[in-house]
Amino acid sequence: MTFRVLAIESSCDESAVAVLDEKRGLLAHQLWSQVELHRQYGGVVPELASRDHVRRLLPLVGQALQQAQTSGAELDAVAYTAGPGLVGALLSGAALARSLAYGWGLPAIGVHHLEGHLLAPLLEDPAPPFPQLVLLVSGGHTMLIEALGIGRYRVLGETRDDAAGEAFDKSAKLLGLPYPGGPQLAALAEQGRPGKFDLPRPMLDRPGLDFSFSGLKTAVMLTARAAPLDEQRRADLARAVQDAIVETLCARTLRALQQTGLQTLVVAGGVGANRELRARMAEGAGRLGARVFYPRPEFCTDNAAMIAMAALQRLLGGEHGSPQTGVRARWPLSELQPPGVAN
C-alpha cells in the first residue's frame, strides 16, 4: 500500500492545493497568491482573504487533480492546514477539505502549518535526516527548534517581539516599498553598499537563543526620517537592514549548532528564500561541519506541498485522521505529538 494525499493550504493569503504520492513524489502543486488583492491595504485583510479562499480553492482542487491525473477514488486522505493562522481563512480550507473527505469516504488530516514548513525539505532530494536543528523564519514566526522526528519538536529559542519576516516587511514599508516587502527589500539590497548604515543587532551580546527585531524597525524609522534618501542611499539602507537580520539569524543559529552538537541544519519558512541568508548560513554551518538543507524557494513560502508532506509523514507513522474538526488561530508547536498519539 502506498499513500496518496491531496492537501489544502489556506492559513493566510495563499490558496494552495497539492497532490503527493508516497512513491512517485509530488504529482501536482497549484497556488493562487492574493498579494494583489491585499496590496492596496498594505497588509492582509482577513475577511477578504477568507472570501477569496472560498472562491479559489475548489477550482484549484480540480486543477490539481487534473495535473496529477488522479481522482478522489485513488486518494488515501485529504489534508488541510488546521492552524495556526487566520481563523476565517483556515475555516474555508478546513470546510472544503472535510467535505471532500466525507464525499470520497477518506480520512481528513488537520496539519499544523509550522510542521508543514519544518518538513518541507523532505520534498527535496536528498532529504535531511533527523535529528535536526531547524531555523523556522516566516512572516509570523522566528524559532530555533530541535527536531528529533515527526511531531517531536523542542523549541530552543524564539523571537520576543517581531518575526524576522515582519522585520523585513516593516522595514520595507518604511523604505516605501510595496507589500509584501521582504522580497522587494532583498532585491533592493543587492544594489546597496555594505557598511553605509550602522543598525543594531539586538540581543546578540546576550546569552541564550532568543531573538528580538523590534529595535531594528525603530532604528530604520529614525534613519529614514533623519534625512531624505536618494536611490543609492535607499539601497544602502536596505542592504544594512538585510545584513542586520541575516547576521542576527546566523549568529543565533550557529550558537545553537554549537550548543546542541547537531550536524543537520534545516532553514525553513518564507525568509528562508532569502539568498543572502542561504549563502551566509551555508558558510557558517560549513565551518562547524554541519550540513544545511533548504526547501526550494517556492516551498519556503506558503504552499500545499509541505502540508501534503506533513500529512503523508503522519499517515506513514500510523495516524488515521484527526478527530478535531475545528481550526486554531494559535497552536503552540510544542503541543504537537508524534503520529498516533492523540493531538
Least distance from C-beta 232 to Zn ion, angstroms? Answer: 34
Asked if 302 interacts with Zn ion (CB under 5 A), we say yes
Residue 100 or 121: the one with the smaller Cβ distance to ligand KG4 is 121
Residue 236's binding partner, choosing from Zn ion, ligand KG4, none, with beta-carbon cut-off 5 to 8 A by kind?
Answer: none
d(CA 117, CA 25): 17
Amino acid letter, residue 55 = R
For residue 299, the partner it binds in ligand KG4, Zn ion, none, with Cβ less than 5 to 8 A by kind, is none
Distance CA 195, CA 244 (A): 10
The least CB distance from residue 81 to ligand KG4, in Å, is 10
Given ligand KG4, Zn ion, none, residue 182, with its beta carbon under 5 to 8 Å by kind, binds ligand KG4
For residue 128, state whether it binds ligand KG4 (rule: CB under 6 A): no
| Residue 71, CA atoms < 13 Å, CB-side half-sphere | 2
- DSSP letters, 209-243, are S-B--HHHHHHHHHHHHHS---HHHHHHHHHHHHH
For residues 143 to 172, the per-residue mask of contacts with ligand KG4, x marking binding by CB under 6 A and - elsewhere, is: ----------------------x--xx---
* Residue carrying the nine cell digits 514599508: 173
Q: b or e along 270-280 (b: 16 or more beta carbons within 10 Å of the residue's beta carbon)?
A: bbbbbebbbeb
Quick check: 9 binds ligand KG4 (CB under 6 A)?
no
* Under rule CB under 6 A, residue 121 binds ligand KG4: no
Q: How far is the CB of 125 from ligand KG4 (least distance, A)?
A: 22
For 210-221, b where at least 16 C-beta lie within 10 A, e where not — what string? bbbbebbbebbe
Judged on CB neighbours under 10 Å (0-12, 13-18, 19+), 51 is middle
269 binds ligand KG4 (CB under 6 A): yes
| Residue 271 binds which of ligand KG4, Zn ion, none (CB < 5-8 A, kind-dependent) | ligand KG4
Q: Per CB under 6 A, does 139 bind ligand KG4?
A: yes
Question: Residue 167: what are its φ and ψ, rounded to 5°?
Answer: -65, -40
**Could you tell me the smallest distance in angstroms from the CB atom of residue 85 to ligand KG4?**
8
Among Zn ion, ligand KG4, none, residue 322 binds (CB under 5-8 Å by kind): none
Specify the 3-state DSSP secondary structure of 156: strand
169 binds, among ligand KG4, Zn ion, none (CB under 5 to 8 A by kind): ligand KG4
Residue of 37, 14, 71, 50 whose CA lies nearest to 306: 14
How would DSSP label each residue in 27-44? EEEEEEE-HHHHHTTTS-
Considering only 110, 128, 270, 295, the residue that binds ligand KG4 (CB under 6 A) is: 270
Q: Does 93 bind ligand KG4 (CB under 6 A)?
A: no
The residue (of 165 and 192) whose beta carbon lies closer to ligand KG4 is 165
First to last CA, the chain: 25
243 binds ligand KG4, rule: CB under 6 A: no
Q: Does 83 bind ligand KG4 (CB under 6 A)?
A: no
CA 26, CA 57: separation in Å to the nearest integer? 19
Per CB under 6 A, the list member of 88, 116, 151, 182 interacting with ligand KG4 is: 182
Torsion angles phi and psi, residue 235, rounded to 5: -65, -40
Closest approach of Zn ion to the CB of residue 40, in Å: 23
Q: Is 319 in the site for ligand KG4 (CB under 6 A)?
A: no
Would you say 39 and 179 are in contact if contact means Cβ atoms under 8 Å apart? yes
Select the binding partner of residue 17 from ligand KG4, Zn ion, none (C-beta < 5 to 8 A, by kind). none
Spatial distance between the Cα atoms of 179 and 321, rounded to a whole number of angstroms: 37
Q: Which residues bind ligand KG4 (CB under 6 A)?
A: 12, 138-140, 165, 168-169, 180-183, 186, 269-271, 273-274, 301-302
Question: Contact positions toward Zn ion, by CB under 5 A?
Answer: 138, 302
